[in-house]
Structure 1
Amino acid sequence: MNQETKQIFSLRTFKTGTHSALLAKYGIALATTAVLMGAGSVSADEVTSTPAEPATEVVAPSVEQPATNTEAPAITSDIPTSVPTSVTQDQAVTAVEDAQDTLKGNVDTAKNTGVVVTEGEPQEVVIDDANAAEKTSEVLTDLNKQDQAVKQATAKQADNQKAYEETSAEHEAVTKEGQEALDKSTAEVDQLIEQAKQAGLIVTDTTTDQTPTYKDTKGLTGDDLRKAMAENLDLYKAAIEAGIGIQDKSVSDLKAALALYQANQKAYNQANTAVKDAKSAGVADLAGADGRQDQVIDLAKKNDVSIDVKHETVIPKYTDVKGLTGDALLKAINDNIALYTQAVADSVAKQDGSTKDAQAKLDAYLKLLADYQAGKGQESGIKWAENTTVVAGTAQKMTGDEPAVDWGNLRTAAADAIQSLDRNQNTDAKFDNLFKINGSGTVTIKNTTNGDVTLKISNIQAWQARATYLAVWGAKDGGIAWGVFATTNGTVGGGAGEGATGGGTIGYSGNILAMVKSYDYEVTTSNAVSTVTFNDIDNSQTVTLNGLDGSKVVKGRNINQSGNSYSAGAGDVSQASGGVIDSNGIQFNFDDAKKVTFSGSHFLPGHINTSIVAGIFGVASEVPKEPKKPNLEVTNLDVTVPEAPEAPEAPKVAVNKVTVKAPEAPEAPAPVEVSVHYYKMTTTPAPEQPQPVTPPTPNTPVQPASVLPSTGEAGSILTLVGGILLSGLGAMGLKKRKED
């Protein structure tokens, strides 16, 4: 909006008429009459001294300027506009000069304020006694109006300057504050942009000019300038506030994006580290299992033992982590690591189990092989060891001190029944492990050279037996032996032991030994054996052996076989616990060692013995035999590692920055212009009184006409007389002026 306003104050030129000039040329008597006559006619050149109103020149504005409601206070002048009618010329001159001094003082003030004052040439005003009051009042009125115009221009200039200074100061303060606030906001945006870029974010920033459409203040002054500038600054402040709001939103968005990305980066780093650590630990555990397995595989290959390695891959049901970030990623990774860790532990346990099983089989084979190569066959059978013990199962453990026969306790009864009264049979027997068999009973021979052996005795057939018993014993590096005997109430009809020989108790009545005819047995090994021996079948005994089918049988020379029944004649004196296969022993050899259970009956042809003694295993069961190579198999497992997390994608952030141009500063106001002029008052001296003329005495008296003829001549005469009078007055005035 362009508007240019120029204030111009001027007064119309005050001039005296031609009659005033003529009055100054002639001075004759009858002045009063002549003046009055001259005053009745005004020259066309005479201009009434009325000052012009201030004129305002306005350059056509491009946009309509809003009206100002502020009304300036009325400006008045101290210069009077009239003088008394009785004023003298000197007083009139003094009054005008005083008025012009006042005007000049106000002109100086206006100039000092910045008003451009154009001073015209002084105007001459001639007064006389007759017109002094009128002319002076006219001049004073004009000077009064000029003074008002000067004061108005001064006030306008001062107000324009004040408006300029106020709006300039406000403009500077508001734009400085606004720009500083915007610059601070922009600096924060720029700083965050730099941080975001360094952190890896893809930031695009766009700068938008938010400068509003301001009102044009060129040429505006005073309240118009104030109002326009206030509106512009309001627009500016609003634009700054809006711009800061836009940038604050960008700052908030950028901070949120940066925080989220950094949180996702942190989660990714934690998850990635956790996966790598878990993988490292898992691979190490699996590698350890592989190492242990490789030792067994290498040992097997070294000893020409084939070993089958089966490979398995364990694939846990992992959670897909693609596209996951933050807490969701951490949870999924932790869940996957837990699955992986458990799968590794299970796989290591399974692999180590297969390795240990193969190791045990290989170790057993290598021991058997070493024994075989050294001429030993220890683990092919079983021997009573130094720390072997016998414990009761379902059989009743006895101390040996219990009453059994009238001539002794249970231990005595056992010795008489098994070794005879002369103690010359089964001399290896010991009676520390005595058990009562109540129909059926089991005992376990523990800690042999090859595990445990469980013996079950049942269905003991003895003559009118009141109690049945079992004695178990063994010898170091020997076999496992037992003897079955019984007690009854009656009369001794013969000796004791195998063959019931010996004397000393024949015909004795009371608690005595009963004659044993048969019993059933069952033997079970806890470990694998490849050789089973039954060491002592003698004295017309028969043994049935069931459960040893598929073995190769080696028989003593006195052994007779019928199916699974083996018998021998009388006369054998071998020891049951000796574990030696001689004339009355049997050996069963299997190709492969295995846990065995064999059973049968052990019987005599009648009630002829007070005991039946048997022996199994021992040195004869440890036959040096090249062991069969085992079929080894191991399982090698691998576990798929959980998928590593994906690095979070760098977010793209659009940042909006704002610029706001300040409104133009106000222009210094153009100076107000005003025109003034002054007056030069010229006084007119009073005409001299004419000397009286004494007319000559006429000879003939003339009677004057009472009335002038109403002809043109009379008027002409009067005019001529007036002209003469005026000429006289003019001459007198000229003379007076020259004298002055």
Structure 2
Amino acid sequence: MNQETKQIFSLRKFKTGTHSALLAKYGIVLATTAALMGAGAVSADEVTTPQTQPTTEVVAPATDQTSANVGTPAQEQSAVTSDIPTSVPADTTQDQAVTAVDNAQTTLKDNVSTAKDTGVVVKEGDTQEVVINNGNAAEKTSEVLTDLNQQDKAVKEATEKQAANQKAYEETSAEHERVVKEGQEHLEQSTAEVYQLIDQAKKTGLLVTETTTDQTPEYKDTKGLTGDELRTDMAENLELYQAAIKAGIALQDKSVADLKAALALYQANQKAYTQGNTALKDAKSSGVAELEGADGRQGQVIDLAKKNDVTIDVKHETVTPNYTDVKGLTGDALLKAINDNIALYTQAVVDSVAKQDGSTKDAQAKLDAYLKLLADYQAGKGTQSGIKWAENTTVEAGTAQRMTGNEPAVSWGNLRTAAADAIQSLDRNQNTDATFDHIFKINGSGTVIIKNTTNGDVTLKISNIQAWTAENTYLAVWGAKDGGIAWGVFATTHGTVTGGAGEGATGGNVGATGAILAMVKSYDYEVSTSNAVSTVTFNDIDNNQTVTLNGLDGAKLVKGRNVTQSGNSYSAGAGDVSQASGGVIDSNGIQFNLADAKTVTFSGSHFLPGYINTSIVAGIFGVASEVPKEPKKPNLEVQNVDVTVPEAPEAPKPISVAVQKATVTAPDAPEAPAPVEVSVHYYKMTTTPEEPTPTPTTPVQKAAVLPETGEAGSILSVIGGVLLSGLGIVGVRKRKED
């Protein structure tokens, strides 16, 4: 049975053959001693050593053998072991020796094949021939096996190292590819965004300065590295690379943020400029059009005045509002300033046009009045001597209370209905010229002002209205173009009525209980003119009415055919119906012609013989009050106003943006590991013919000095211990020599 014994000297390679020889020597001595012990009795009990006891033999590997653990201390040696035994029993025959070596070399060759498949470069040396005989078969075989065992270990170690190097290479290559691909993709995405924004910024008008920063760190050189050393250094390089990518992206992200902010700011400034400039242009266009329109209207009056040889003084004025200075302003500040300036400009234009148009209209009115008077005079008419209701004549409340006409007044209608029924009758066939846009409540007394007549204003005061059980008394004022000023006095009360309404309380049947019209008997009046007049008329004295007039003494009187006079009282009988606003001296009117034109105030009473009417209607002035008289040329003056346009905004200046781009060079990919090299050689065991074994002639002496332990191997153990101690000393000396 073959039994492998462990090598206890830990010697992997020898510089010379000295130690091998020494070990061999000690091995031979040990083997010889064992043989001797086996040949004779070694104790009193005659115990013999078994022939199968193995011997410990160390055979140094070949001098060209390469091992992965050369020079490595014993505690750091590889855990690789070999299945090849390092010794054979001492009684091994030559054939057994050959078989043992062949088996060992088969194992070695199998492992060499595996190593080659793994990528190890195996250098096979020349086959060494070992000649054995019966005497040295065990010794030589153990030497060969020990060498084959060491070669097998070296091959296995090379295989493991090659596999480990290849695995480290593949793993680091894959990790390198993944990390670099991911890093480059992220960096390229970031860079693409930077380029996109740079292109957008340049097209927008921004000034972009570009710089490129190389963020590549200082990597470790991994050339020639294998195994864990490659893993460690490559991991550090990839960490540096990832940190550099992160730093580069952060640098570019800041540039992206700066570009976006600059773009947003510039676009906001551009938008504000465009909006503000457009709004200003629109405002200027509208304002200039308004001012030019006013100039055109004024120019027509000026031309008309010059055409009729009427002097007109044109006073020029330029309005400059307190505009905000827009120089250097951008964004919201610019837009606010422009809008504020537009508001100031627009209001200034409105005010200027109003002022200019006001002066134009005033001059136009005076010129038109003059030309009308002149035309009337040339046609034999005297409009300046009296007063007519003009197209723009209106009535304003003085001390009287103005009403809308929608107020409740009678049970069958509102105040406007009550006024129409009282003045025009239920059938609306009396005083058909009357309108009810100017109705006033008179509480005791009240005044109204008839404005914008053909000759100034007229103030009418009504007081002392006498109406049957009246609760409210009212005054309605109206007129007709080119006609006179008319009014009607009426009242309301509560009760029951079954009769009609209007003058004579005729025309239909009210038939109402509750709020009804009251019968009016009389009132007092007073009329004042703001301008000079030379003719006064009182129209429509009819239906048993009597009028007293005071304040017109000395005037030349013209009466209608139905009018009777008694002192300053004038009456007319029933049956004649005229229009109070007609302004003509017909059968029921009177005319007072003054020697000189002057402002006049006249007053009196207007009354009926009893409570027979729901209203009393009267009229003054009109065409009959106009007597031909050459008018005086007016002194005309107009204001021509211009407005300074706000300053236009400045286009926003391009914004400068500094952009930093980053580049990162990836660490070098790991290099494929160089193949591990290992050298092997094989043996050819050559046997020799057997020789007769000589018979010992020397008798074996009993070892009387040995202790009788009763164990046959005691002496062998002692001798072996001595030999092992000697070999240990040799090993120590060898390590010191090395």
TM class by shorter chain equals 0.5 to 0.7
Q: Which residue of the other structure, out of 90, 96, 117, is the alignment partner of 1:85?
A: 90
Aligned mates of 1:305, 1:211 — CA distance in 2 = 94
Q: How does 1:665-684 map to 2 (within 5 A)?
A: 665-684=669-688
* Alignment check: 8 A CA contact 1:10 1:676 kept: no
* Alignment check: 8 A CA contact 2:319 2:642 kept: yes
Residues 515-542 of structure 1: CA deviation (Å, up to 9, x unaligned)? xxxxxxx99632245x689xxxxxxxxx
Q: How does 1:439-518 map to 2 (within 5 A)?
A: 450=455
- What secondary structure sits across from 1:100 in the alignment? helix
Q: Which residue of the other structure, out of 136, 141, 166, is the alignment partner of 1:136?
A: 141
Q: Which residue of the other structure, out of 625, 628, 632, is the alignment partner of 1:628?
A: 632
1:374 paired to 2:374: no
Aligned mates of 1:231, 1:445 — CA distance in 2 = 105
Deviates more, 1:73-82 or 1:219-228: 73-82
Structure 1: runs of 5+ lacking an equivalent:
1-8, 19-31, 33-46, 59-66, 386-392, 395-440, 457-476, 478-521, 534-543, 549-553, 556-576, 590-594, 600-615, 691-740
Q: Which residue of the other structure, out of 334, 342, 367, is the alignment partner of 1:337?
A: 342
Displacement of 1:56: 7.7
1:123 paired to 2:128: yes
Q: Which residue of 1 aligns with 2:195?
A: 190
* Alignment check: 8 A CA contact 2:535 2:627 kept: no
Q: Which residue of 1 aligns with 2:666?
A: 662
Structure 1 segments of 4+ aligned residues over 6 angstroms from their partners: 9-15, 55-58, 382-385, 441-449, 452-456, 577-581, 616-623
Aligned mates of 2:302, 2:186 — CA distance in 1 = 79
Distance 1:145 1:209, change over 3 A: same
Deviates more, 1:445-454 or 1:343-352: 445-454
Aligned mates of 1:354, 1:448 — CA distance in 2 = 19
Aligned mates of 1:678, 1:384 — CA distance in 2 = 148
* Alignment check: 8 A CA contact 2:312 2:635 kept: yes
Q: How does 1:180-219 map to 2 (within 5 A)?
A: 180-219=185-224
* Alignment check: 8 A CA contact 1:12 1:51 kept: no
Aligned mates of 1:268, 1:201 — CA distance in 2 = 16
Structure 2 counterpart of 1:314, one-letter code? V
Q: How does 1:605-624 map to 2 (within 5 A)?
A: 624=628
* Alignment check: 8 A CA contact 1:265 1:647 kept: yes
Aligned mates of 1:448, 1:334 — CA distance in 2 = 44
Residues 394-417 of structure 1: CA deviation (Å, up to 9, x unaligned)? 9xxxxxxxxxxxxxxxxxxxxxxx
- What secondary structure sits across from 2:324 in the alignment? coil
1:233 paired to 2:243: no
- What secondary structure sits across from 2:631 in the alignment? coil
- What secondary structure sits across from 1:321 in the alignment? coil
- What secondary structure sits across from 1:647 in the alignment? coil
1:587 paired to 2:621: no
Q: Which residue of the other structure, out of 159, 179, 183, is the alignment partner of 1:174?
A: 179
- Using the size of structure 2 for normalisation, the TM-score is 0.56
Displacement of 1:51: 3.9
Displacement of 1:150: 1.1
Aligned mates of 1:147, 1:578 — CA distance in 2 = 158
Larger Rg: 1
Q: Which residue of the other structure, out of 252, 263, 275, is the alignment partner of 2:268?
A: 263
Aligned mates of 1:384, 1:142 — CA distance in 2 = 148
1:327 paired to 2:335: no
Structure 2 counterpart of 1:166, one-letter code? E
- Using the size of structure 1 for normalisation, the TM-score is 0.56
Aligned mates of 1:333, 1:190 — CA distance in 2 = 36
Structure 1 counterpart of 2:678, one-letter code? V
Q: Which residue of the other structure, out of 288, 293, 296, is the alignment partner of 2:293?
A: 288
* Alignment check: 8 A CA contact 1:201 1:653 kept: yes
Question: What is the percent sequence identity of the aligned residues?
Answer: 75
Q: Which residue of 2 aligns with 1:361?
A: 366
Residues 490-525 of structure 1: CA deviation (Å, up to 9, x unaligned)? xxxxxxxxxxxxxxxxxxxxxxxxxxxxxxxx9963
Structure 2 counterpart of 1:245, one-letter code? A
Aligned mates of 1:76, 1:663 — CA distance in 2 = 38
- What secondary structure sits across from 2:176 in the alignment? helix
* Alignment check: 8 A CA contact 1:580 1:618 kept: no
- What secondary structure sits across from 2:234 in the alignment? helix
Q: Which residue of the other structure, out of 279, 288, 296, is the alignment partner of 1:274?
A: 279
Displacement of 1:49: 4.3
Distance 1:135 1:299, change over 3 A: same
Aligned mates of 1:150, 1:446 — CA distance in 2 = 132
Structure 2 counterpart of 1:216, one-letter code? D
1:525 paired to 2:544: no
Distance 1:673 1:306, change over 3 A: same
Aligned mates of 1:383, 1:678 — CA distance in 2 = 151
Structure 1 counterpart of 2:681, one-letter code? H
Displacement of 1:54: 3.5
Structure 2: runs of 5+ lacking an equivalent:
1-11, 22-34, 36-57, 391-397, 400-445, 462-481, 483-525, 537-550, 557-588, 603-619, 695-738
